[in-house]
Amino acid sequence: MNPMPVQGFDKKTFDPLAEEEIKEVSFRIRKKPPKKLPTFGLEPKEILEGQMIGMYESKQDLYLIMAHRINELQEEIELLKTKIK
């Protein structure tokens, strides 16, 4: 998975897609995402039963589906943590 030699590898900055001509557009700093993912108040599209998720959704819709569910699960985890204490 890592085409770079070990001595030149920095896992915080490694980006296999960063080529010199597109580096300024594609380069982003690697860091852990926050516990609550940003949705900017946007809702995902309705999921129709019998339709495979991803069949007609854009990347933004797929992100919103996952972000909303992850945020719900994170809230449930925090609630359970407070009940346990």
Q: Domain residue spans in the chain?
A: 12-84
Give the C-alpha separation, 69 to 60, whole Å: 14
Whether residue 18 has pLDDT greater than 70: no
Q: What is the pLDDT of residue 1?
A: 45
Whether residue 84 has pLDDT greater than 70: yes
Give the C-alpha separation, 48 to 58, whole Å: 15
Q: CB-hemisphere CA count at 13 Å for 6? A: 0
Per residue in 19-49, pLDDT (tens digit) is 555 566 556 677 888 889 999 889 988 887 7
Tokens of 61: 């819709």
What torsion do the CA atoms of 59, 60, 65, 68 make, to the nearest 10 degrees? 140
